[in-house]
């Protein structure tokens, strides 16, 4: 089997390979991927540092052309890359192709942004002096990504980093190196100079930690768990570097008595269970007012009965497998915890067998949950959601906001008054009205509040905030 190498200083290097396993069929090896050492990470950082002066001054047309070429190739290969994504991560083929198209759109967007770099020219408060405000790249960026969006998250960090003239050391999640390798290969062939983008696949505790400990990274952008995010934060403060964190969520979806039942059920099924519930914007707390509660639970349960859990590549599969054995154990532990805490198991809860050995779990719905239970407070990251019954809108809003997290929040209602009030008073970074809590656009800011995120927003033109630093220059006329 071909070994996919790391890219360091423009060369494909590395020997130790680990197997990338398909969670839909654990007998199947998706590919063999090199693992970097801490020294490899240091070499990659040195290469990115050496490449920075030239790349930071590169022409915008060169950056535009490379990012556009990358977007075009990803789009042209969407079916092949989507299949690779579905095989390594386990989301369904349509979801995986959709995510691949999204990655192409992100590269396309930032190809355009490279041509739209702008500053401001203002008069000084002092006579005969002009003021210019410009944005400059910050230096070498460390990019550390999770396994749940194997192509979109690398795209939404790499594209702006390069667009604004930074160089990059990129460490993807160990479970899903395939899509990351593919986009680095595409960018490399699209003409990036040596050292501008380095790929170091491998363990977080080794490669990731070496990045955290480096004095030469000007910034780290991280998406992953709260625990690792805290490590990124403290190491970054130690090294006086910029950092941006996207971490967990415990996203509420409020359903009011006046909701359109179909909209509420479709939104809850999508938010809670699609992509196997493995989205940081997934909704695992369904906060439902008394008048609609029983109807909603009955209709959602009927909907869950129709969802097919099977191999990610099979036509007709709605929910693919859980990503790996460890995550499956976490999910089943939380299901046991929910039962012990006194929530009622309304649907699912069991692991299931399919033709091939894989990590299959039924979509699982608890009812009679309270917001104080662990299943309502801690991120599970699986196809598990709980219904919390509340009296009225005021209690629903208070419950929705009563969480350490604040990424996304949804409401299903036909009341303009309540929708408007919820948008205004939700303590989440993203609010959805009559839509699933997951599913966002690529040209607008993405990010949360409280323990979900730290630093400036990702995506759209707001990405410039993290990937650039502002300079204010005064000139005597």
Task: List residues with catalytic annotation.
Answer: 246
Nearest residue (CB) to ligand ADP, 8 versus 254: 8
CB of 175 to ligand ADP, least distance (A): 7
Closest among 193, 223, 166, 252 to 458, alpha carbons compared: 223
CB of 197 to ligand ADP, least distance (A): 17
CB of 150 to ligand ADP, least distance (A): 11
Measured CA to CA, the distance from residue 183 to residue 162 in angstroms comes to 13
Nearest residue (CB) to ligand ADP, 195 versus 224: 224
Nearest residue (CB) to ligand ADP, 222 versus 442: 222
Closest among 216, 298, 251, 295 to 41, alpha carbons compared: 216
Closest among 367, 362, 364 to 342, alpha carbons compared: 367
Nearest residue (CB) to ligand ADP, 245 versus 432: 245
CB of 209 to ligand ADP, least distance (A): 4
Strand pairing partners for 223? 246
CB of 207 to ligand ADP, least distance (A): 7
Nearest residue (CB) to ligand ADP, 207 versus 432: 207
**Contacting residues toward ligand ADP, per CB under 6 A:** 144-147, 171, 173-174, 204-205, 208-209, 212, 224-225, 228, 231
CB of 173 to ligand ADP, least distance (A): 4
Nearest residue (CB) to ligand ADP, 113 versus 246: 246
Nearest residue (CB) to ligand ADP, 147 versus 296: 147
CB of 5 to ligand ADP, least distance (A): 18
CB of 228 to ligand ADP, least distance (A): 3
Closest among 37, 63, 56 to 140, alpha carbons compared: 56
Is the Cα torsion angle 348, 273, 180, 465 positive or negative in sign? negative
Nearest residue (CB) to ligand ADP, 224 versus 460: 224
């Amino acid at each position: 089997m071909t070994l996919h190498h790391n890219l360091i200083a423009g060369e494909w290097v590395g020997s130790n390979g680990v197997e990338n396993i398909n969670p839909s069929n654990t007998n199947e090896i998706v590919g063999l991927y090199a693992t970097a050492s801490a020294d490899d990470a240091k070499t990659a950082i040195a290469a990115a540092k050496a490449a920075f002066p030239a790349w930071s001054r590169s022409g915008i047309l060169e950056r535009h052309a490379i990012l556009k070429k990358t977007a075009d190739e990803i789009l042209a290969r969407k079916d092949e890359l989507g299949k690779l994504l579905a095989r390594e991560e386990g989301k369904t083929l349509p979801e995986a192709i959709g995510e691949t198209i999204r990655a192409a759109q992100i590269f396309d967007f930032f190809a355009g942004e490279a041509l739209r770099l702008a500053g401001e020219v203002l008069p000084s408060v002092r006579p005969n002096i002009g003021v210019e405000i410009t944005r400059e790249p910050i230096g070498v960026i460390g990019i550390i990504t999770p396994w749940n969006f194997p192509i979109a998250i690398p795209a939404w960090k790499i594209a702006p980093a390069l667009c604004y003239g930074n160089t990059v050391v990129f460490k993807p999640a160990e479970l899903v190196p395939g899509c990351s390798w593919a986009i680095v290969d595409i960018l490399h062939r699209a003409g990036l100079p040596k050292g501008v983008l380095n790929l170091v696949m491998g363990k977080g505790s080794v490669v990731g930690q070496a990045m955290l400990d480096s004095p030469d990274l000007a910034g780290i952008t991280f998406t992953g768990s709260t625990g690792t995010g805290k490590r990124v934060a403290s190491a970054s403060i130690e090294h006086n570097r910029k950092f941006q964190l996207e971490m967990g969520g415990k996203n509420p979806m409020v359903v009011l008595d006046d909701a359109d039942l179909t909209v509420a059920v479709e939104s809850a099924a999508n938010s809670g269970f699609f992509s196997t519930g493995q989205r940081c914007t997934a909704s695992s707390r369904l906060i439902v007012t008394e008048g609609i509660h029983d109807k909603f639970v009955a209709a959602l349960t009927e909907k869950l009965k129709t969802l097919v859990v099977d191999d990610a590549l099979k036509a007709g599969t709605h929910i693919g497998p859980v990503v790996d054995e460890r995550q499956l154990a976490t999910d089943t532990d939380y299901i046991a915890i929910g039962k012990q805490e006194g929530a009622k198991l309304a649907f699912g809860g069991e692991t299931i067998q399919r033709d091939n050995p894989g990590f299959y779990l039924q979509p699982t719905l608890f009812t009679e949950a309270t917001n104080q239970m662990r299943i309502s407070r801690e991120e599970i990251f699986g196809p598990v959601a709980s219904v919390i019954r509340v009296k009225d809108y005021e209690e629903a809003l208070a419950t929705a906001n009563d969480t350490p997290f604040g990424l996304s929040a949804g409401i299903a209602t036909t009341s303009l008054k309540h929708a408007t009030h919820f948008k205004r008073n939700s303590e989440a970074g993203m609010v959805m009205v009559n839509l699933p809590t997951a599913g966002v656009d690529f040209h607008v800011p993405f990010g949360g509040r409280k323990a979900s995120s730290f630093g400036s927003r990702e995506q759209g033109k707001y990405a410039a905030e993290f990937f650039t630093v502002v300079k204010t220059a005064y000139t005597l006329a």
